[in-house]
């Protein structure tokens, strides 16, 4: 038997989107607003992004430096708590027991929570190696950027000595920063595209200052090694094959919405994003269930998803007051 409780609004995910929605709703006095976060610390992805650039503002075409991810995450958590929301960490929403009832699990036990409205803010994650269909052994030493950052910045784990980074989007350059901080040499950055997708100065800094070669038009075709990765097989679009020796491989970018909970609840997904289909008011096709942040679209800057969270709070409050839900939600 699970203990059962009711709250007014239940928010799943304490990243920038969920925390902003929580702050907005609690400040508006809608009643008990509870945020569930499966990690031990709230804040979402910025918790483990030690670079700056979070919450940066643009003025007259110039963008400021922003702040570090952990500092940004703490500020978002503090704002939600100050507004009166309750943020519970180490609690995972595992499934649905009714349209607005979620089952949870945590080290303290199982629980069943019913709300007047549910906000899904579960974010997005990078596609892991298995889903990218790279053949080869199941050797250790293979990460996504998120896994790498958590291992280095949250748990201080030893990573390896020589890495290959797959991808050339901004997130790949964040992975290079983390590898540098962990003292790992980078053998090469490999991308199937014809050029990098980062700012010119970021790409130039990586090549010229840190000496990281960027191999364009090349795909990683194989992971080699028993127990631990010892090399990656690379195929250039001209057909040339090569092996790069390394003990660490980081797959970057290629984000997919963390839609598992939405799917289990029968929420329709948008074919384009594979996240919950929502209308302009963040409503899904299940009355009372909203979705906000990266779960509903491609990865956006933290400030942009936090702004969505505030707007979603207005929609949720309007629904709590009116009880109205349109019969057709765009994209479904």
Given the rule CB under 6 A, which residues bind ligand FAD?
12-18, 36-39, 44-46, 49, 51, 53-54, 92-93, 121-123, 145-146, 171, 174, 258, 261, 293-294, 299-303, 305
Nearer to ligand FAD by Cβ, of 39 and 247: the residue is 39
Q: How far apart are CB 94 and ligand FAD at their closest, in Å?
A: 7
Shortest spacing between CB 191 and ligand FAD, in angstroms:
16
CA 313-315-321 angle, to 5 degrees, is: 100
Smallest separation, CB 69 to ligand FAD (Å):
7
Cβ distance to ligand FAD smaller for residue 145 or 160: 145
Give me the least distance between CB of 264 and ligand FAD, in Å please. Answer: 9
Cβ at position 137, least distance to ligand FAD in Å: 26
17 or 267, CB closer to ligand FAD? 17
Residue closer to ligand FAD, measured from CB, 146 or 160: 146
Nearer to ligand FAD, 30 or 45 (CB): 45
Question: At closest approach, how far in Å is the CB of 21 from ligand FAD?
Answer: 9
Tell the smallest beta-carbon distance from residue 70 to ligand FAD (Å). Answer: 12
Compare residues 40 and 138 and give the one whose CB is closer to ligand FAD: 40
Question: Residue 54 or 251: which CB sits closer to ligand FAD?
Answer: 54
Non-local (6+) Cβ contacts of 114 within 8 A are 4, 5, 6, 7, 98, 100, 101
**R_g of the chain, CA atoms, integer Å:** 21
């Amino acid at each position: 038997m699970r203990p059962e409780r009711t709250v007014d609004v239940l928010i799943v995910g304490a990243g920038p989107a969920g925390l902003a929605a929580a702050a907005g709703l609690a400040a508006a006095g809608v009643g008990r607003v509870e945020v569930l976060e499966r990690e031990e610390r709230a804040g979402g992805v910025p918790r483990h992004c030690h670079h700056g650039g979070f919450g940066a503002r643009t003025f007259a075409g110039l963008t400021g430096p922003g702040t570090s991810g952990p500092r940004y995450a703490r500020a978002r958590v503090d704002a939600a708590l100050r507004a009166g929301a309750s943020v519970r960490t180490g609690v995972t929403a595992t499934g649905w027991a009714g349209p607005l009832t979620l089952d949870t699990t945590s080290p303290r036990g199982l629980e069943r929570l019913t709300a007047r409205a549910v906000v899904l803010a579960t974010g997005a994650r990078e596609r892991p190696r298995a889903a990218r269909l790279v053949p080869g052994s199941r050797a250790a030493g293979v990460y996504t950027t998120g896994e790498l950052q958590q291992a280095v910045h949250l748990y201080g784990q030893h990573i390896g000595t020589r890495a290959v980074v797959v991808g050339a989007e901004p997130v790949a350059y964040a992975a290079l920063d983390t590898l540098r901080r962990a003292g790992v040499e980078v053998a090469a950055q490999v991308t199937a595209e014809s050029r990098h997708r980062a700012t010119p100065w970021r790409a130039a800094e990586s090549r010229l200052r840190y000496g990281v070669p960027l191999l364009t038009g090349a795909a990683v075709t194989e992971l080699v090694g028993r127990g631990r990765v010892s090399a990656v097989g690379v195929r250039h679009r001209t057909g040339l094959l090569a092996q790069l020796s390394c003990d660490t491989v980081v797959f970057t970018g290629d984000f997919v919405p963390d839609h598992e909970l939405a799917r289990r609840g029968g929420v329709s997904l948008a074919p384009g994003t594979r996240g919950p289909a929502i209308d302009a008011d963040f409503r899904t096709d299940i009355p009372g269930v909203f979705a906000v942040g990266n779960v509903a679209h491609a990865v956006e800057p933290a400030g942009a998803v936090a702004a969505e969270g505030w707007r979603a709070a207005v929609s949720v409050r309007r629904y709590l007051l009116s009880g109205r839900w349109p019969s057709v939600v765009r994209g479904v």
